[in-house]
Amino acid sequence: MRELDERAYRLQQQVDADMLQQLKLAGQQQQQAVSSPTKRQKAVNAAAAAAKEAELAERLEANMNELVKLSDEKLNIATQIYDYIDRHITKLDKDCKAFDAEIAKERQRLGLPPVEPTVGGGSVDTGGGGGKRKRKDGGGEQRKLTPEEQYQQALAMADPSEPKYCHCQRISFGEMIACENPDCPYEWFHFGCVGLTEENRPKGKWYCQLCRKQLKLK
């Protein structure tokens, strides 16, 4: 495509130059018609100008035809690219549906309840409360899963490279809370692993037991 653009650019420059030459030639003819002393000289000048005009006109026509040809070729390539991308997207959509079906079968095999599709593995709520942060999975109205069910559900859909959190060294699942110490080796903790529930959720900054000892906090 880039090569076609360069060829078209060079042709367009040649067309512009030839059109400018035609204008100059027309001006010269008018000037010679006035200044030529004899009819013979006028005839010679007119013949030379006509030959030059014919040459320019022929070259202009050839270059314009070539420009049209290049435009058609570029359009054809663009159409082929569009068709290729469209086929690729269609195939990708089919592969995604097949992957979703495999996940559903795996969840059924593990005895996990079906869930609505979600984007990513959960959401992080960074709203108010003195720096308190929490991490929890999305979902619609359904039976609240036990911590073990939440873990198995997250594990079934997790990427092999999913990072491990908490002192239990398991992946992210259910509600989680972050230690406010930026140097905390675990960063995030599962509510159940640190004895937290919806009822006793901390309202201010929270530090894990390890960091509380290191920072000598009460």
Q: Which residues are annotated as a binding site for Zn(2+)?
A: 166, 168, 179, 184, 190, 193, 208, 211
List, as residue ranges, the binding site.
Answer: 166, 168, 179, 184, 190, 193, 208, 211
CB-CB contact of 162 with 207 (8 Å): no
- The pair phi, psi for residue 79, each rounded to 5°, is -65, -40
Identify which of 183, 176, 202 has the alpha carbon closest to the alpha carbon of residue 124: 176
Instruction: Report CA-CA distances (Å) from 194 to 159, 162, 167, 197, 201.
Output: 25, 21, 9, 9, 11
What is the length of the chain? 218
CB-CB contact of 95 with 32 (8 Å): no
- The pair phi, psi for residue 36, each rounded to 5°, is -65, 130
- Residue 63's CB is within 10 A of a number of other CB atoms, namely 18
| C-alpha span between 177 and 174 (Å, rounded) | 10
Complete DSSP assignment for 130-184: TT--EEE----S-PPPPHHHHHHHHHHH--TTPPPBTTTTB---SSEEE-S-TT-
Instruction: Report CA-CA distances (Å) from 18 to 7, 45, 53.
Output: 17, 20, 10
